[in-house]
Structure formats: C-alpha cells, structure tokens
Structure 1
Amino acid sequence: MEQHLSQYRVFYAVARTGNISHAAKELYISQPAISKSISKLEENLGVTLFKRSSRGVTLTVEGQVLYNHVSSAFATLDRGESELKRIKNFNIGQIRFGVSNTLCKYVLLPYLKDFIEESPHIRILVNSQDTAHSLSAIENQQIDIGLIAEPKNRKNLYFYPLMNITDTFVCTRAYLDNLKIREGENCNIFECGTILMLDRKNMTRMYIDSYFAEHGIEPRQVLETNTLDLLISFAKTGLGIGCAVREFVKDELADGTLIEIPVQDAIPSRTIGFAWNPAGETKTMQQFLSFIRSTNAPTM
C-alpha cells in the first residue's frame, strides 16, 4: 500500500459522512488537516475523489471505486478489533488438536466434554490424522497438541501419559464355535479364521504387524478396514476375529456381545497421551494441560 493508512481513514470518514466538518469532529482533527490529507491522497493517486459543493462533498466515480474497497478493509479491521475485545473479555483462545478417529472418539471427546463445560468460550479445532502426521504437525507448530501413542523418539516434544491400552483379539461366541466345528477344536485362529485388521497405514496395524513378525505369525486371511468402529462392527456381525483395543470394547466384552481370544504371547501394552511442542505453548494450551493434570481419567 503506497499511501499512509491515516489518509485512507480520513477519506473513509469524509466519504461516509459526506461532510468535511463532520469528519473532522469524528476524527478529532482540524478541517484544514482533513482537506490537506484528501488533496495529498488525490495527488498521489492521480484522480479526483470528491466533488465539492456548498452542501458538502460527494464521491466521483473513481472515489466510489476506492470507497468500496476502503470500506471493506475498515470493516474487516473493525471485526478484528471486536474479536480481540471478545477474546479479552471472555478469555477466548483456541487449541488445535491432532488425533486419530479412534482416539478422538474413545479418549479425547470425554476430556473435551468436561473441559468445554469449564471453559465454554475456547475454540476447539480437531484435525483427524494418524500419529505420524500429528508428530510432524506438532514439531512444525501446525497443531498445538497431539493425542498419540508415546513415540520412541520424543525429540524436543513434551509428552503427558494418560493411560495404557492393550491390543487383543475378539469375536462373537457363535463365530468361534462355528470355526471350531469346521476346523477342529484346537485350530490356529490365524491359520483358519478371518482376521479383521486396520489398514497398513495405521500405526496400530504397524504395531500389530511388528508383533506378528516377532512371533512368526502369518494370518492367511485378512479383512482390512480403515476405522476401529467399523472393525468392531464387523466382529460383532460375525465376520471374523477383530484385532481391537481391549479398553475400547470393554462394554461388548462385559455384556458378552464379544469374547476375547487369548494368545500364547500377550501383546505388550502401549501408552497414549498428549504431546506438544513447548516452543509454541500458549496460555490456552497451559489452561487445557492444567485441566488434564487435575482431572480424573475420562470414563471409557
């Protein structure tokens, strides 16, 4: 912008009031100063902005074009100032979360429900993404907090553990009974059954694949889904044996909808929690993290 903002503010006031005297009173400056500013702006732009008369001033065609843009700009500035006042008056801030669909539903949402009840004016943004993307976004300060499995290499990130989760295999009683009738009482579920798993891009799938490789397990028939909810639904329908998180199917295990199939070598548990970059820590983030530290674990 080649001209000073103050010249546009003067132009805006004169155009809106249609009177140099009224604009001078509004801006608390003298009429000669108003006229000088307008003349300077017209000189710099090389156009005439106002038609002068004894009754006041009116915009020329060129002046109307400029006014349309200037009025939009000042309206945007006014909205910005109002938003800042609102943030100050209501203690409004924002937090950008990165989290997978599964952890969002089963872990983050219960925390957010209680946090929003306590701090209703804070803006919450949630990016649905896998752990790898969340870690990268935290490091680059594209999100504020990630809900992830504890990374092996934290680099410069802080990590606050929330809970341990355990992967397990579940299916319906009917599916397991029919599998044993068809394949024999002592059949190997990984050789005889349909194993329901998340797709290979998922961090949980990568973790389970590492477990399989370590223990020489090679499922013969795999049915993949891209969400844990869909995987659990497939298992409840009797389509196969699902690799799920025990803590996220505890209701189904409790009421008998699903049963757990023990394996010879238990799958090591994982720790999930909140990770963030301390270099980008804001007061609003501190408020949320303080809430997390002081609250009980969410109801699962």
Structure 2
Amino acid sequence: MEQNLSLYRIFYTVAGAGNISKAARELYISQPAISKAIGKLEDSLSTTLFLRNSRGVTLTPEGRILYEHVSAAFETLSRGEEELLRIQELGIGHIRLGVSTTLCKYILLPHLKDFIAENPHIKITVENQASAQTLSMLEQQQIDIGLIARPKNLKNIRFHSVVEIQDTFVCTPSYLENLRLREGSDASLFESGTVMLLNQNNMTRQHIDRYLTEQQIEIPHPMEISTMDLLIEFARIGLGIGCCIRECVQQDLDAGHLVEIPVPGLIPKRLIGLALPASPAPLQATEKFLEFMKASAALQR
C-alpha cells in the first residue's frame, strides 16, 4: 500500500461523518487540509470518491467499495488496540517454559504455584525434556525461558541464577554396612558397589563424569538410570549407591534414611537458573515470571 495511512484515516472519517467540517472537528485539522488530502487520495487512485453537495459529501459507487475495505481495516485495528488494552489490564500473556523433570519437581514447582495464583491470566506451557534440548530450543527461539544448570557457553543466552546445588553419592546405612562387611573396609566403594548414575546424555551425568575423571575415580560398570526420581527410589530401597542432587534427598539425609558416601576432593557445585535468548527482549509475561522467580529465590536464601 503506497498511500500514507493518514489519507485513509481522513477518507474513513469524512465518509462516516458525511461532512467535511464535521470530520475536521473530529480530526482536529482544518477543512482545507481535509479537502487537499481527499484530492490527493483521489488523484492517486485515479477515481472520484466523493460527490459534493450543499449538505456535505456522499460516496460515489467507487467510494463505497473503498469504504467497505477501509472501514473493515480500521475496525480490525480498533479491535487490536482493544485486545492489547485488555491484555495490559488483565496481565494476559503466554510463557513457554523448558525444564527437566528433576528441576521441574524440586525447583520450579514450589515457585510455579504462587506465580499462577498471582497471574491467573498468563498461560504457561511446559516442555519437559533434558536440559540440552531446552538449550537447543532456546537458541531456536522455540521456547521463551528455560530452567537449566548454567552452561559453560553463554553465547546468545542470558542467564539469571536462582539456586546453587550440590551433587553427592548416597545409599542406605544398611547397604553401606553390608558392602563393607562383604568387601572389606578398605575396598573401593565405587569399584565394588553398585553405583547408579544418570544416562550419559544427561547434563548432570556429564558434570559428574568430569569430576570422576579429574579425581581418577573409575566406576567399572555403572547402572544407568533414566530419571533422578527413579535413581533416588532405588537408593532408598538399598539397591546401591546413587549419585544425585543433595537438595533432592536432604530430608532423607536429615532423617538418617540415607547417608553420604565420602568422596575425594569436592564435587563442584552448580548454579541453576533461568536462561533466555539474548535477543529479542522478552515479552511482558516472560519478564514478569523472571522477576518473580528472582524475588522468590532471594527470599529463600
């Protein structure tokens, strides 16, 4: 559309008012300016849009055809403005979240309930998947925000820390006692015990593998488990030594149902936070969720 939108606004107003002087009052511009604009529009379209008479103006057949389309366009724009106003007034929005099962259960869910209660008109959809997939979807802008461990490469990613977590090895007291009775107190627990790790494509597993390599710890035949929850349940029933996030089993440790296996060195802690694409700027709903999570996390520290 080559014509300036303002010419169509003037045409639309004059057609609705049926009078140039009335349209001038509505648009807060002079009558000569309106007449000039109508003339310019007619020249560009090579047609007459209005018939002038003593009482005002009436649309020609060609003018009526144009008016039908122009009025539909301006009505659509008006509905769009009303919709945006309603979104702002009610806080309507949509957030697409990406998060792993473990981080969703132990970190996201405790906060999400309160956010939904405070923002009932924001639609939230969750992509439940491995953190590596969440990062990939963020890079392709298929989701708005992801809850992940801080990646080494922050290229094209904004990261906001929420909580720090510590990985550990745990088992039941009875499993540890029986293992030492069977293998001897000097035996390597990692070599002689049943050690349960997450699958190799999991970012937690990759973090642990780096630690094991640095400490020259070998686990001959680890039992690979698909989810952290299942791994923890296996550890709770005494199946073996499970590598898990301490915060996920803190209650079991406090109650004495599980004990930590001493390890050489220190397993590096990890930062868990919210990742967003570096650009474009997040929409209002996403920004609101980000601020909520940051404030909520600060209160829990």
- Partner in structure 1 of residue 211 of structure 2: 211
Query: Deviation of residue 294 (structure 1)?
Result: 2.4
CA pair 83-218 structure 1, distance change in 2 beyond 3 A: farther
Aligned match of 1:106: 106
For residue 183 of structure 1, what is the amino acid of its counterpart? E
Q: Report deviation, 1:90.
A: 2.5
CA distance in 2, matches of 1:268, 1:298: 24
Q: Is 1:288 the equivalent of 2:289?
A: yes
- Structure 1 stretches lacking a partner, 5+ long: 1-32, 38-79
Contact residue 150 and residue 272 of structure 2 kept, 8 A: yes
State the 1:196 CA deviation. 0.8
Q: Which residue of 2 aligns with 1:94?
A: 94
Distance in structure 1 (CA, Å) of the matches to 2:278 and 2:87: 23
When residues 205 and 186 of structure 1 are mapped into structure 2, their CA distance, relative to the original with a 3 A threshold, is same
Shift of 1:221: 3.0
Query: How far does residue 264 in structure 1 lie from its aligned partner after superposition?
Result: 1.5
| Correspondence for 2:131 | 131
Query: In the alignment, which residue of structure 1 is the partner of 2:154?
Result: 154
- For 1:30-179, what aligned pairs fall within 5 Å after superposition? 87=87, 90-179=90-179
The TM-score, its normalising length taken from structure 1, stands at 0.70
User: Partners in 1 of 2:160 and 2:244 — Cα distance?
Assistant: 24
Moved more, 168-177 or 286-295: 286-295
- Cα gap change, 1:183/1:298 in structure 2, threshold over 3 Å: closer, same or farther? farther
Identify which range, 174-183 or 108-117, moves more after superposition. 108-117
Aligned partners of 1:196 and 1:182: how far apart in 2?
19
SS of alignment partner, residue 293 of structure 2? helix
Contact 1:159/1:276, CA 8 A, preserved across alignment: yes
- What is the CA deviation profile of residues 156-210 of structure 1, one whole-angstrom value per residue up to 9, with x for unaligned ones? 2111011111111000000000001100112211111000111111111111111
Secondary structure of 1:295's aligned partner = helix
Alignment partners' CA distance in 2, 1:296 and 1:165? 13
Q: CA offsets, 1:79-135, max 9 Å, x none?
A: x99987864552210111111100010001111112112112211111012222111
Count how many residue pairs are aligned between Structure 1 and Structure 2: 227
Counterpart contact for 1:172–1:257, Cα < 8 Å:
yes
| Aligned residue number for residue 21 of structure 2 | none
The change in CA–CA distance for 1:89 and 1:259 in structure 2 (over 3 A counts) is same
Contact 2:163 2:297 in 1 (8 A): no
Deviation per CA, 1:6-65: give whole Å up to 9, x if none. Answer: xxxxxxxxxxxxxxxxxxxxxxxxxxx8xx98xxxxxxxxxxxxxxxxxxxxxxxxxxxx
- CA positional deviation for 1:222: 1.5
| Cα distance between partner residues in 1 of 2:188 and 2:299 | 37
What do residues 262-281 of structure 1 show as CA deviations (whole Å, max 9, x unaligned)? 11222111111001014241
Structure 2 equivalent of residue 268 of structure 1: 268
Over aligned residue pairs, what C-alpha RMSD do you find? Answer: 2.5
Is the CA contact (8 Å cut-off) linking 1:110 and 1:299 kept in structure 2?
no
Shift of 1:299: 6.5
Tell me if structure 1 keeps the 8 A contact 2:162–2:294. Answer: no
- Contact kept? 1:107, 1:298, Cα under 8 Å: no
